[in-house]
Amino acid sequence: MSAAAGGIVGNDIISFGNGNNDSVTAAGGSVISDIISFGNGKNDSVTAAAGSISGDIITFGTGNGDYVTAGSISGNTIAFGSGSADYVQVGASSHDKITFNDGSNTTPDYVLVSGDISNDTISLGNGKGDYVTAGVAAAVGGSNDTISVGNGAGDTITLTYTGTIPTGEATGGDTITTGTGLDTVTVTAHTNPDTFGFALGTTASSYTMVTGAHTGDQVITASHNLAGTSNSNLHDEGTGTNLTSMYNAVIGAISADKGQTYIGSDGFNTFIVTDVGGTTATVGVIELVGVVFDSVATLRWCGL
């Protein structure tokens, strides 16, 4: 279904069968307040090149390569099935809810925003190498977003910018939660605190690395804010340690370490290992790259 160039597809209920390459298109125009559902064909799409998509409910099936592209999107609910290589690629996104199912371990699902994302909720499944990238074209990056990835390996979340922000920093206020794979999170300098959630069941070789964390940010795991950890259960390992030795020490005394959280540094990066439940499945590991919180007092003040 297509609108004339610069036209509008609006207030419609549109349903497709299981064929491939089904599409709703408004080149240079707008797709507004529609309910659009696709079958299980591949390469289905909703597009508004140089236009906008807003207030729509868009549901894709299990085919591979389904996608949404536009100049900007806002206020949409977009749900993808279990196909791989599904994606959203837009100039800007705000107040959107974007959900991916489990893709494959070969071709990632992704959200790529050349400008800013704000107040979005983005959930990626358990596929390998899934990613969210925003702020690639001299824009701020992310603000007040909630982003989560599943347990696939090599997932990345990048909320950064190129160029100069007039205020010097991004807004921030993002909540980013990772799974049990070796995941990477990168954020730019930000005014409001970000929250970084890391998974239990992570190890010294499969954990979350965060670049861009600074004072005031929060670190949580299993919905547990470590700022609530009592002084007696929060341990300073100093600046002469490394992640592997900290993790091995916790695993070596797994029963005794139940409820304990350890912080250490190699002088360049900060490592946190926490044991919530006294088993390997309840140990969580995170690294804060390029920043040193080398004391319990500093850690707690930082909100970790």
Determine the average pLDDT of the residues in 260-264.
87
Buried b (16+ CB within 10 A) or exposed e, 104-129: beebbbbbebbbbbbbbebbbbbbbb
Mean pLDDT of the chain: 86
**What pLDDT is attached to residue 82?**
92
**What pLDDT is attached to residue 102?**
87
Dmax over CA atoms of the chain, in Å, equals: 68
172 contact partners, CB below 8 Å, separation of at least 6: 142, 143, 187, 190, 191, 192, 193, 194
pLDDT single digits (tens) 225-251? 665 555 567 788 888 889 999 999 989
pLDDT single digits (tens) 109-137? 999 999 889 999 999 999 899 999 997 65
**What pLDDT is attached to residue 254?**
83
Q: Which of 50, 47, 44 is nearest to 16 (CA)?
A: 44
**What is the distance between the alpha carbons of residues 135 and 1, in angstroms, rounded to a whole number?**
31
**What pLDDT is attached to residue 89?**
97
Q: Is 59 helix (H, G, I), strand (E, B) or coil?
A: strand
Higher pLDDT, 25 or 105: 25
| Run of H or E residues at 300 | helix 296-301
Q: Is the pLDDT of residue 301 over 50?
A: no
* Residue 91 in tokens: 């100039």
**What pLDDT is attached to residue 276?**
84
With bands split at pLDDT 50, 70 and 90, how would you rate the model's confidence at 224? low
Q: Is the pLDDT of residue 182 over 60?
A: yes
Higher pLDDT, 12 or 253: 12
Q: Decide if 158 contacts 134 (C-beta within 8 A).
A: yes
**What pLDDT is attached to residue 131?**
95
Category of 267 on φ-ψ map: left (φ > 0), alpha (ψ -120 to 50) or beta: left
pLDDT single digits (tens) 12-65? 999 999 999 999 999 889 999 999 999 999 999 999 998 999 999 999 999 999
164 contact partners, CB below 8 Å, separation of at least 6: none
Higher pLDDT, 82 or 191: 82
**What pLDDT is attached to residue 259?**
79
Sheet harboring 77-79: ordered strands across? Answer: 13-15, 35-37, 57-59, 77-79, 97-99, 121-123, 146-148, 175-177, 195-198, 218-221, 224-225
pLDDT single digits (tens) 127-180? 899 999 997 655 556 789 999 999 988 999 998 765 555 555 678 899 999 999
* Residue 28 in tokens: 């240079």
**What pLDDT is attached to residue 206?**
95
**What pLDDT is attached to residue 135?**
79
**What pLDDT is attached to residue 245?**
92
Buried b (16+ CB within 10 A) or exposed e, 50-60: ebbbbbbebbb
Q: For 293, which DSSP code?
A: -
- Highest mean pLDDT among 15-19, 259-263, 264-268 belongs to 15-19
Q: Is the pLDDT of residue 288 over 90?
A: yes
**What is the distance between the alpha carbons of residues 228 and 243, in angstroms, rounded to a whole number?**
23
